[in-house]
Amino acid sequence: MTLRLYDTRAQQLRDFVPLDPENVTMYVCGPTVQSGPHIGHVRAALSFDLLRRWLTHRYGRVTFVRNVTDIDDKVLANATDAEPWWALAYRMEQEFTAAYAGIGILSPTYEPRATASVPQMQELIATLIERGHAYPAPDGSGDVYFDVRSWSEYGSLTNQSIDAMEAAEDADPRGKRNPQDFALWKGAKPDEQADATWQSPWGAGRPGWHIECSAMSKRYLGPEFDIHGGGLDLRFPHHENELAQSTAAGDGFARYWVHNGLVTVGGQKMSKSLGNFTLARDVLAERDPQVVRYALAAAHYRSSLDLSESSWTEAEAALGRIRTFVERAERVLPRTFGWAEATELPEAFATAMDDDLGIPQALGVVHDTVRAGNAALDAGDDDSAASARHEVLAMLDVLGLDRVGMASGGDAQASALDALMQTMITQRAQARADKDWAAADRIRDAIAAAGITLEDSPAGTHWSIDG
């Protein structure tokens, strides 16, 4: 089956055909590092991590670029005398990196900072001025604007007419020809940090937000690349402006536009400006990172995800069922089944992933395989059980769910629970050896009351959590 992706610009599913089948190219808008990440930022990064992993499975190589916006109005506004803007940006960048790594998001092929590509931004601005699509403000401010009415395709990403758009609020409007014109270069201001400026043909200043991604994507991927990704909230004005300035400069730019849905709280977008956000570090401090990854991946990437306590509970139970099967299979089956051998993915799993990255359906295949594997173990069908185990682990690898943590849950609490259970199992075994059946039954009943099942076999007694 051909991989199909929903192209936001075309507003339909399209067969994915890369420019180079041996090297898929992706650019994803990364964080503006004025403060630490909330869980919505992590969900966005995870969406493209999952897409990248599937593209790697299908094509073998993916060049994945995710930028860091380390110079911006918000970064400058949050800086203090004790922590300059560049120090704040670096500290917050580290927080994003830690949150991404915490749930197994792969590092980008390249992760450029905006401040390292200012010459390329100036070169792009000069091209736009030369082509008649940008102009320096006549007020001597040093600002440079993109002339939206000079580019007939402006608005094509979001299907808007210029007259219906609100005015761009990224610079003082006094030097603009049209209210919708947006800033490519921002002239230095007396109240801003002196070290947050660069010299340019138009005067000292710094780049506008939108020009940064156009310049960095071209620098690292070339004038045309396969996929541009980002959150749904970036479609306008950020991605609309990127598309306009890059194509007006003569570049092919992105061939597919892919946007992830937002995390919501009570139906409202999670946002720092609204104050309804949950910091990623707080979530990861309280929960198994693999449970967090599962919960954030369980909804389709284009849908809104309304997180609640039940989201984590359901993810923990679902992941627990997978872990219990893998542990049981590895305990029961003989080692002659070759645990490390490669396994083809189930056709239903691949079909789901090829259909616009259908993670919910793909997870359904994982759980169907787990149920079949458990049934095979119950029936003593070792061949079928081993096959199910191989398939489950192959699917987990594609989804980035760590097989290392399958048995223990991967955290200190799980290790402590296992130690406690082994003590109770030993006490029960001793009671049975002493023919103290009442004591043995009391121990088993206490374990069952905690929602834990004991399984006696010739290889010994093992425990698992019901669910």
Position 430 confidence tier, pLDDT thresholds 50, 70, 90: confident
At residue 407, the pLDDT reads 44
Position 419 confidence tier, pLDDT thresholds 50, 70, 90: low
Taking CA 171 as the corner, what is the angle to CA 167 and CA 172, rounded to the nearest 5 degrees? 90
Q: Check: CB of residue 149 under 8 Å from CB of residue 178.
A: yes
Please give the structure tokens belonging to residue 344.
């083809």
380 — alpha (psi -120 to 50), left (phi > 0) or beta? left
pLDDT tens digits along 96-134: 999 999 999 999 999 999 999 999 999 999 999 999 999
pLDDT beyond 90 at 385: yes
Q: Which residue in the block uniquely carries the two structure tokens 């506008």?
A: 208
Position 172 confidence tier, pLDDT thresholds 50, 70, 90: confident
Report d(CA 257, CA 280) in Å as an integer.
26
pLDDT tens digits along 281-301: 999 999 999 999 999 999 999
At residue 450, the pLDDT reads 78
Position 406 confidence tier, pLDDT thresholds 50, 70, 90: low
Report the percent of the chain where pLDDT is more than 90: 75
At residue 276, the pLDDT reads 63
The arithmetic mean of pLDDT across residues 221-248, rounded, is 97
At a CB cut-off of 8 Å and minimum separation 6, what does 335 contact? none
Report d(CA 22, CA 55) in Å as an integer.
11
The CB-based long-range contact list for 445-454 (8 Å cut-off, 24+ gap) reads: 447/421, 452/421, 454/425, 454/428
Position 418 confidence tier, pLDDT thresholds 50, 70, 90: low
Report the percent of the chain where pLDDT is more than 70: 90
Q: Check: CB of residue 27 under 8 Å from CB of residue 256.
A: no
155 — alpha (psi -120 to 50), left (phi > 0) or beta? left
Please give the structure tokens belonging to residue 415.
């290790």
At residue 440, the pLDDT reads 79
Position 412 confidence tier, pLDDT thresholds 50, 70, 90: very low
Report d(CA 239, CA 222) in Å as an integer.
17
> If we measure between CA atoms, which residue out of 147, 199, 205 comes closest to residue 175?
147
Report d(CA 109, CA 55) in Å as an integer.
14
At residue 275, the pLDDT reads 67
pLDDT tens digits along 66-105: 999 999 999 999 999 999 999 999 999 999 999 999 999 9
Position 404 confidence tier, pLDDT thresholds 50, 70, 90: very low
* Full-model pTM: 0.85
pLDDT beyond 70 at 261: yes
At residue 408, the pLDDT reads 40
Question: Regarding beta strands 24-28 and 224-231, do their DSSP bridges make them parallel or antiparallel, or are they unpaired?
Answer: parallel
pLDDT beyond 60 at 143: yes
The CB-based long-range contact list for 309-314 (8 Å cut-off, 24+ gap) reads: 312/287
> If we measure between CA atoms, which residue out of 413, 374, 366 comes closest to residue 392?
366
At residue 91, the pLDDT reads 97
Report d(CA 335, CA 337) in Å as an integer.
5
Strand partners, 145: 135, 183
At residue 434, the pLDDT reads 76
At a CB cut-off of 8 Å and minimum separation 6, what does 191 contact? none
CA distances (Å), origin 456, targets 15, 310, 410, 425: 52, 33, 24, 10
**What would the 3-class secondary structure string for the chain be?**
CCCEEEECCCCEEEECCCCCCCCEEEEECCCECCCCCEHHHHHHHHHHHHHHHHHHHHHCCEEEEECEECCCHHHHHHCCCCCCHHHHHHHHHHHHHHHHHHCCCCCCCECCEHHHCHHHHHHHHHHHHHCCCEEECCCCCCCEEECHHHCCCCCCCCCCCHHHCCCCCCCCHHHCCCCCCEEEEEECCCCCCHHHCECCCCCCEEECHHHHHHHHHHHHHCCEEEEEEEEHHHHHHHHHHHHHHHHHCCCCEEEEEEEECCEEECCEECCCCCCCCCEHHHHHHHCCHHHHHHHHHCCCCCCCEECCHHHHHHHHHHHHHHHHHHHHHHHHCCHHHCCCCCCCCCHHHHHHHHECCCHHHHHHHHHHHHHHHHHHHHHCCHHHHHHHHHHHHHHHHHHCCCHHHCCCCCCHHHHHHHHHHHHHHHHHHHHHHCCCHHHHHHHHHHHHHCCEEEEEECCEEEEEECC
Comparing 254-263, 266-275, 433-442, the range with the smallest average pLDDT is 266-275
Q: Which residue has the higher pLDDT, 460 or 261?
A: 261
Average pLDDT over the chain, rounded to an integer: 90
Position 445 confidence tier, pLDDT thresholds 50, 70, 90: confident
